[in-house]
Each structure stands twice: as structure tokens, then as C-alpha cells.
Amino acid sequence: MAIYSLNHKPIGKSTQERPYTTGAHVNYITRNKALGRLDGARMPVERDGARDFFNDAEDGSRSNGRVADKLMLALPKELNPEQRAELVRGYAEEVTDGRAPWLAAHHDKGKDAQNPHCHLVFRDRDPNTGKRVFGTTDRGSTQRLRDKWQAHANRALERAGRPERIDARSLKAQGIDREPQVHEGPRNRAAAENGRRPVSRPRDVRNGPGARSPSRRVNYPALDRGRTRPEYNRARPTERDYWSDLDAHRQREELDGLRRLHLPPDGRREEPQRMPFKDRLNRRVPAPSSEKTPGEVPKSFLDRRKPPALPQSEPPQKGLPFRETPPKPKAERPPRDRIPNRHKSRWRDDDRER
């Protein structure tokens, strides 16, 4: 699926570790092993010409001037190479306002076939006037670059008829309750597959524009605690792990409630002693008697049907004397010959003669 990733880093003449860092970066992003497409505007669009262009720009800049800005953009896999090239060109032209020079190197072949991305390098200066175009040295410029890339990428996905969209906001701003992961990168993954562990050591990281100090010391051993980036991401629970743990917790609570309801407080239930099968059979079916006559009902069966006898100490209850109800007299029926015939509408012939 389409993911959002934009990494912005400036290259300054006084803050770079070595001179001509921008030219060395151009050599790196245009290597034949990874380069799939090279595009640009208002500058030479080939390796040697682009490197010399940025080296000359560094020589002509002031001692604390900014030579260039480099961006690394994650390209949507749902787009084909032509659509991705059109997306990057439209974004670069808007950022540079059609005046500043830019160079874009697409990496989408070899090991980057499943991770297409683009290295965009531009110099935020109008060659004719020498003035800034986008204002990358201003506070909040990186966020403006991120917002513009989100808008361009979503428009490109919409034109291609794809339902996927990217979002530049954080997980918390999107309402997603999930911990963010750290970026692993192909080098860390390859090292983990080959069984090699990178050495963690403190590093000096350069601060952004407007900071009180130019750099800061980051103690990485205290942060990673001896774990690599892949190990750190695998140890963090995912959303699926959260819901699985929640279901297991609810199931345990339900089972504990059933045990408290049906078991004694000590949690043990005494099993009743089972009677042997032979004894149960003899108890339910009485043994046949040799003196039984044909048609005789077993005595045990008659005893079960009798009501329990009252104790001898209690006298029988006295009630009203029994009064026998005389039978009702039978109604006198008329003679048979006077009964009207139900099947005829007149009397019999012998009655008519009478």
C-alpha cells in the first residue's frame, strides 16, 4: 500500500563534514546500479554536469550559505514509472516555482523494485536574481514541503483511479492508537539477515535552523539498549497483538467467573464414589425369586407404590363421618313404540291405526 515518507536535510557550506558534499551526493544518487530514471530542470541533467554545477554553486556561495536541499521521497507503488515521474516533476516545479534548478534521481530497479523512492536535490536560489524561492531556511519550511507532497501524491493516485491515499500527519493526529516504529532501512535488514550487528555509539547530530546550538550529542547506546532496529520493532506490540491480548484477557476473566460460581472457595470439587456396575444393577433390578408364581407382581415394586406408613405413636386423624351418597333415580323413558322415528317425519303406522 502507499506509504508516506519524506526526509528533508539541508547541505550548508559551513555545516557539512567535508567540502563539496552536494557533488558527492549527486555521484551517489546517480550510480548506475540503482538509477532508474534521471530528471531535472534549469541545470545539466547528467552525472558529471550536475556534480560540477553544485560544486560551482558551493564555490560562489558565502561562507555560511546553504548550497542545496536534498529530499528523499517514497513513491507510491500503485503508480507506474511514467506516473511517478510526472508526480515528481509536478512537485519539484511547484517547490521551485519554476525558477530554481532541481535534479531528481528515481530508484526503482534491483533491490529497490519493491521500495521505489526518489532523491530530489534543488538549490533554493533564482539563478537570475539570486534570491530565495521557497524559503527552506525559514522555520516551518519542512512541514510545508511535507504538506505539498501529500497533496501531489494524493492527486496522482486519484488520477490513476486508485483508492489509496497518504497522510503526512502523525499516528496520534490521525486517531490511530499504535506506537510508531523506527526506520530500518535496507542496510540494517541486510545486516540482520547476514547475522551482523552494527556497533551502537554516541553521535553528534546537527540541529535544524533556528536552534540555539549548531549540534547536539545523542547517546544511542542508552536509547537502543543493545538492540538493533529490526529487534526494536519486533519487540514493540502491534495492533493485532493488542486485540489478541485483550481477547485472551476477557476469556480468562470469564473462565474465572465460572469457576467461582460453580466450584467451592478452595477451588476443589470432591468426586462422589462411584458404585460398581454390578452393585448398581442389583439395586435397580430385584433378583428373581424361586417361589414366584406366574402373574405375580414383585413385592419390591408394590412397596415403592405404597405411601409411607405413619408412626405408631401418632393417632390417626379424626374427620367427619362418612356419609354414603344415594344413587340418583333413573329417569323413566317412554315406551319404545312412542319414540319418534328420527329418520322419518311422521309416526309409525301402528300408532296411526290406534
Q: What is the pLDDT of residues 12-52, one digit of tens each?
A: 998 888 899 999 999 999 999 889 999 999 999 999 999 99
Query: Which residue out of 4, 20, 28, 220 is catalytically annotated?
Result: 28
Residue 75 pLDDT: 96
pLDDT digits (tens, 9 = 90+) for 205-248: 877 666 788 889 999 888 888 788 777 777 766 666 667 777 88
The yes-or-no verdict on residue 290 having pLDDT over 80 is no
**pLDDT top residue among 168 and 297:** 168
**pLDDT top residue among 267 and 174:** 174
In percent, the amount of the chain with pLDDT more than 90 equals: 41
Q: Is 220 a catalytic residue?
A: no
Q: How confident is the model at residue 271 (pLDDT cuts 50, 70, 90)?
A: low
Domains of the chain, earliest start first: 6-170 (3.30.930.30), 191-243 (no CATH)
The yes-or-no verdict on residue 163 having pLDDT over 90 is yes
Over the chain, what HEC string results? CCCCCEEEEEEECCCCCCCCHHHHHHHHHCCCCCCCEEEEECCCCCHHHHHHHHHHHHHCCCCCCEEEEEEEEECCCCCCHHHHHHHHHHHHHHHHCCCCCEEEEEECCHHHCCCCEEEEEECCCCCCCCCCCCCCCCCCHHHHHHHHHHHHHHHHHHHCCCCCCCCCCCHHHHCCCCCCCCCCHHHHHHHHHCCCCCCCCCEEEECCCCCCCCEEEECHHHHHCCCCHHHHHHHCCCHHHHHHHHHHHHHHHHHHHHHHHHCCCCCCCCCCCCCCHHHHHHHHCCCCCCCCCCCCCCHHHHHHHCCCCCCCCCCCCCCCCCCCCCCCCCCCCCCHHHCCCCCCCCCCHHHHHC
What mean pLDDT value characterizes the chain?
A: 80
